[in-house]
Structures are given as structure tokens and as C-alpha cells.
Amino acid sequence: MPNLNYAQQYQQALLQEFPYALYFGALFATPNNGRYQWLNEDTIQIPSIQTTGRVDGDMDTIGTKTRNFQNSWTPLKVQNHRTWSTLLHPRQVDMTNQVATIANITRVYNEQEKIPEMNAYCISKLYADYVAAGETPDTTVLTVSNILSVFDQWMQEMDDDRVPRQGRILYVTPAVKTLLDNADAFQRQIKADPASGNVRRIINSLDDVRIEPSVPKDMMKTVYDFTQGWAVDNSAKQINMVLVDPEAVITPINYEFAQLDAPSAGSDGKYVYFEESFEDVFLLPKRQKAIKFNVEA
């Protein structure tokens, strides 16, 4: 890691351009996170109930009473255990004109390392669960001529699988967002500001499906290397478009810890920052029909 620059005077607030956002925030906020019961410190229980259907009635006799439902549980074990720590000498705060503070350091860490890693883990884990459930991603090469056809086919398949229309979200890369903006036979709402003359093409939803702001293409890969931070794996394919119902996803966090210790003899006079979390992302059992992927062939 490069040494701290003690010679140059910086502004007290670090100006980091284009910080990453939690692009899959709607999935991390899925209602499922508060719905299910923890079995123990690292396993969450997903219940499943099946019943029989109705039969013809008989007004003249009493039928045989039996239990007509089955109950089962699917355990999901949280296995993504992540930590991060750093040391900071009090003199380094002064020598960098208050730039190298724990507040600034952790802000940059969150924006450029932790949050992007959460994005990468979320999409790649959902893709892995999707394939493990026996599903096959769409590999159509998307163009302005066919992108709406692919979307319509996905919507039809979800309708046939009884996935509720309300709540579906479409995630796309910037390149695919451009295809949507210019798709053939697409009706756009155009707003012109009479004062400035600026023109905006507004495409916030499609057939009641919310279109999220485009996700950078390096945050939409099938496989990542999480050895330190996150990196796109050499075997990764590009995910171009994802249609998902957040009700098909669970993103449990069962332990979080963060603490800053003051300088002490045990730390050789340095501040010590440490954080730890146990978290994971799952595609819920029997919900694989509520998510669709388009990836490169």
C-alpha cells in the first residue's frame, strides 16, 4: 500500500469521484429479512407448506378426516464471514492535515470497497443459486430490435409461473439501458425544460416493472474473487439484464460488529479499527422462477 503523503497539504474532506452505491439496495431491503426464524447462530429456517386440493362434497354422509397438508423446513446457512481492520497513528492525522482520520478512511473503504463487494457478492450469489436450481440463463445477444421481445417473454413466463407482477424490478448495465432508451416501437415520455431547453427522456418503468438506475458492468458479473476485497474472476461472464421479484430473495445479516479502540500500550500507541460481519444472499427455495438472467454466451 502506498505511504501516506505527509508533504502535500490536502483539503480536509477527501473528494473521491463517483463513489459506488448499493445498486441492489432493494434486494438488501427485501421484506423476507424479517420474516423467517433463526434456527441457531448461523442458520435461518425457511418453511414450506403444501396442501391437497378440494373434492366434491356429500350432504348425506360424513367423510373421513385426514391431515391434508405437509410441512417442511429448508435450512440456509450463512457462510459469508468478512472482516476488515486498520491501524492509525495519532500523528498521521496531524501530518496529513486531518485527512487521514478514521471517519475519512472508513468512508472511502465503505464507498469503494465494502459496498461494491456487497453488490458483487449479491448478484453473483443469486446467479449461482439460480443455476444450481436447474435454471438456464438467456444468452440472446440484445439489440434495439429484440430487447423488448426478450423482456416480454420473461414477463409472460413469470405470469405463467404465478409470480406477482407488482414489485418486479429490472436491473441493467449502462449499455443495455441505452438499448432500452432506443428500443424499436418503444413509446417514450419526453420532457423539455422551456427555461433551459434541456430535454429528458424519462423511462422509469416498463409494464409496471421498476427499472433501477443502470448498474456498472463490473458490478454485473457471474463470478468474483473475494480473496481480498473483490475482483472480477477470470472465468466470469457479463450479466446484461436481470428481472427479479425481491420476494424471491433473502439477504440475512446475523452478526455485525465495529469498534475503534483508542491508542494504548497494547496497540503501540495507535488507534485500532476493526469490523466483522456474518452475512449472505440466497435465492429462496422454489422461487427460482421469480428471477431471470441475460448473460453473454
Give the fold, CATH level 3, of 25-54+67-295: phage-related protein like fold (3.90.1690)
The string of pLDDT tens digits covering residues 231-241 is 999 999 999 99
> What cell was used for 95?
501530518
Phi, psi of 205 (to 5 degrees): -150, 160
Report the C-alpha gap between 236 and 226 in whole angstroms: 13
pLDDT in tens, 251-280: 998 888 998 898 999 999 999 999 999 999
For the chain, the domains span 25-54+67-295
pLDDT in tens, 196-215: 656 555 566 677 899 998 99
The model's confidence at residue 162, banded by pLDDT at 50, 70 and 90, is very high
Dump pLDDT digits (tens) for 96-144: 656 568 888 888 899 999 999 999 999 999 999 999 999 999 999 999 9
Which pTM was predicted? 0.85
274: which residues sit within 8 A by CB, 6+ positions away?
83, 84, 85, 257, 258, 259, 261
DSSP for 81-117 reads EEEEEEEE-HHHHHHTTT-S-HHHHHHHHIIIIIHHH
List, for residues 29-53, the tens digit of each pLDDT value: 999 998 888 888 889 888 888 899 9
Q: Exposure string (b/e) for 40-62, b if CB count within 10 Å is 16 or more?
A: eebebebeeeeeeeeeeeeeeee
Q: Is the pLDDT of residue 17 over 80?
A: no
For residue 195, give the C-alpha cell: 427555461
